[in-house]
Amino acid sequence: MPNSVAKIDLEQEKDQILSRYRGLLRGLRTDRTPEGTRLIRKAFNIAMEAHSTQRRKSGEPYIYHPIAVARICAEEIGLGVTSVVSALLHDTVEDTDITLDDVREMFGDTVATIIDGLTKISGVNWQTDSMQAENFRKVLLTLAQDVRVILIKLADRLHNMRTLDGLPREKQLKIASETLFLYAPLAHRLGLYAIKSELEDLALKYKEPTVYADIEEKLKKGESVRKRFISRFILPIREALEKEGLEFEIKGRPKSINSIYNKMVNKHVTFEEVYDVFAIRIIVDSKQELEKADCWKVYSIVTDYYQPSPDRLRDWISRPKANGYESLHTTVMSPGGKWVEVQIRSRRMDEVAEMGLAAHYRYKGEEQHANAMDGMLNKIREILADPGSNALDFVHDFKLNLFSDTIMVFTPTGEMRDMPKGSTALDFAFEIHSQIGRHCIGAKVNHQLVPLSQPLRSGDQVEIITSRKQMPKEDWLNYVVTARARHKIKQALREQKRKLAMVGRDAVQHQMRTWGAKVNKENIAVLQDHLLASSPNDLYWQIARGRHDLHKLPPPQVKNGRLHMAKGKLTMEERPLEEIVAEIRGNQGGTLTIGDDVQNMNYKLSPCCHPIPGDDVFGFITPGEGIRIHRVNCPNAVQLMSNFAMRIVKARWKGKDSVEFLAGIQFSGIDAVGLVNRITTIISRDSNVNMRSISFESKDGIFEGKVMAYVHDAQHLHSLVEKLREVPEVRRVERIDH
């Protein structure tokens, strides 16, 4: 008897599998050729056989999953045969004996490439933030190759979220968190609004089950009231649209549970106080050339009956969103005193809005990609092109550039550019052309001169002012937000450093010959050790920066062309703060290492003394503000060290050669003809220093000057001060803190 029961179950499952497979074929929206059907049947048979012994956690046959994913691809995203075949086979390479070469041989390179990308994504292991970020980069690498990889992965994730009940709580939380972190924003960016909303709702369901159930219950309770309200609201609009002879459909649907929850949290209101828990959607059947006019005609009819909110009109028909979304949104006041959102769009726009750009470009051939996505893919490639960024920077750049809202900015000739919200005038310069960005010295926004760091607003007209003498500066990285600008600035800074190192290399080689030593790796390594440089390039760079004057070094011993010099020792100025702070706190605790590799640590350089690398510094724990870095000779240092000894943290610098810092020098002396020119030459040319500002005042034959300049560290600043003291007319030079 048990055997017959088992047999009946297997027969039922077989019938269910065939039923689901036929549903998949019916759901394929694109024109299905006999060849396409043959390929799908072949993929289905292979998947059936490969997964025949596997079952899901719920106990169902595993084959249900790939069929469901393929159906989502076909019905909800609108993909074609190639994607459906890939979806059916997406788990075979990872979970069964079938290899990628087998897939390539049976279905060709395109399907094999897509499945390879899907296998790489599913193999990632999400742990810490940085680990998650590193895997985010892997996901994007596959997206840059073929966007279908991500579309199928989104379908896979959506089915997993729909069937999450069978997993333990911690697994549910992990998968829901990944979904919110990566997959829902990606669905949004690809224009898949229906999938994005469902992913967010399902993630909320497992992360906050009580909240989700509460909102869901309240939506169900208010459903009948809402339906009556919508019927009354749309009645006059329906009659007017029919008089105009328009073919249309009107839908009233509640907002997603997640968007209602976000409004409750962000606006600190209860469910009852969220006024737009639903939206009215009017879909017009129009020819493509009449879409825009018909949508505005509908808007005119709606606003004839209901008063619109002037600041709530969103026109994404004249200028669609970057992901292809087109719609006209307005919020109007209903007779009962409630605000109601009305969305107006054509049938084509509605399909693109629900299923994304993939609904528009069907992937009928294996090599035919969605051209409308090229711009987005190019941006992804730009972000991936920066080898210097760490994974967390990469995630920041990607989310900022691809998930943020966009603004429209105009060139002086009226050409429009889409930029991420928060972009600055300097970002815009690099958006126009990398050379314009490199040589940018200023910008005019709406004919007014503004700083390069000025954030732009939608509608701004921007004119970039350039100079051939201008070169990118390190601090530019602080006020650009686009990946393109960051990448180009870092590239230029690396070029500058390389050129400067070549100047230093020539100086080293010349001095070696003067000493009578051979110019070879061994002798350069000896000089490097003597001057405490970390590498030959670091040595050349220090020499070019003026940190060491080779002419002033004691003549070294040279035997048979070999250089003999003692290994250098740290001077008192270069030593870390170990001894000073040890007197206060003893030798307990570690040392705070300040540098470019720990930017996520919550520390700030104190404005009261402007510490720069090379200064003896200490950290001071400020409640609520993290750690403030002060110079040991800061005016406040004594008070802090004596009164708050337990809040002192030992600190030392690391990675000195990667950032420039703003420092001030003031000097005075006897005025003379050509003095200003000599001083500026010493600062900018002889010392390779970028000046931010310089001022001179002369009175009764005495001059006073002040310069704010970007220096690399205390040694670099000291070198500049010494050179200025060598000018005969200059009598006093000192560093200033403000």
pLDDT digits (tens, 9 = 90+) for 455-487: 888 778 888 888 888 888 877 888 888 877 887
Least confident interval from 107-111, 280-284, 414-418: 414-418
| Alpha carbons 136 and 129: distance in angstroms, whole number | 10
Give the per-residue pLDDT at 593.
57
| Alpha carbons 661 and 711: distance in angstroms, whole number | 5
Q: Which of 75, 95, 214, 529 is catalytic?
A: 95
Is 247 a residue of the active site?
no
Q: Which helix (H) or strand (E) holds 528?
A: helix 521-530
Would you list the domain boundaries of the chain? 2-192, 217-355, 491-564, 578-658, 661-736
Q: Would the pLDDT of 49 be above 60?
A: yes
Long-range interactions of 672-681: CB distance < 8 A, separation 24+: 672/729, 675/703, 675/727, 675/729, 676/705, 678/727, 679/705, 679/724, 679/727, 679/730
Nearest to 95 by CA among 144, 128, 53: 53
Give the per-residue pLDDT at 278.
79
Burial class (CB in 10 A: 0-12, 13-18, 19+), 408: middle
| Alpha carbons 534 and 256: distance in angstroms, whole number | 57
653 pLDDT band (50/70/90 cuts)? low
Q: 217-355: what fold?
A: Beta Polymerase; domain 2 (3.30.460)
Q: Would the pLDDT of 19 be above 80?
A: yes
284 pLDDT band (50/70/90 cuts)? very high
Give the Cβ contact number of residue 701 at 10 Å: 8
DSSP string, 569-637: ---TTTS-SHHHHHHHHTT-S--EEESGGGTTS-EEE-TTT---TTS-EEEEEETTTEEEEEETT-TTH
In percent, how much of the chain has pLDDT > 70?
A: 78
Long-range interactions of 2-8: CB distance < 8 A, separation 24+: none
Give the per-residue pLDDT at 100.
82
Take residue 462 and report the two structure tokens written for it. Answer: 């921007």
| Domain 661-736 architecture | 2-Layer Sandwich (3.30)
For the stretch 534-589, pLDDT in tens is 778 778 877 877 777 777 777 787 788 788 787 765 544 444 444 434 443 433 33
pTM exceeds 0.75 for this model:
no
Nearest to 634 by CA among 580, 571, 706, 574: 580
* Contacts (Cβ under 8 Å, ≥6 apart) of 708: 662, 663, 664, 691, 692, 693, 694
Q: Would the pLDDT of 344 be above 90?
A: yes
Q: Which of 11, 31, 49, 94 is catalytic?
A: 94
Burial class (CB in 10 A: 0-12, 13-18, 19+), 584: middle
For the stretch 156-193, pLDDT in tens is 999 999 988 878 876 787 778 778 777 887 788 777 88
Is 95 a residue of the active site?
yes
| Bridge partners, 592 (sequence order) | 651
Least confident interval from 17-26, 200-209, 264-273: 264-273
How is the beta sheet containing 462-466 ordered, strand by strand? 448-450, 440-445, 462-466
Q: 2-192: what fold?
A: Hypothetical protein af1432 (1.10.3210)
Take residue 507 and report the two structure tokens written for it. Answer: 């100086």
737 pLDDT band (50/70/90 cuts)? low
| Alpha carbons 496 and 230: distance in angstroms, whole number | 65
Residue 455 is given by DSSP the state B
| Alpha carbons 418 and 536: distance in angstroms, whole number | 44
Give the per-residue pLDDT at 400.
53
Q: Which helix (H) or strand (E) holds 161?
A: helix 147-162
Burial class (CB in 10 A: 0-12, 13-18, 19+), 716: buried
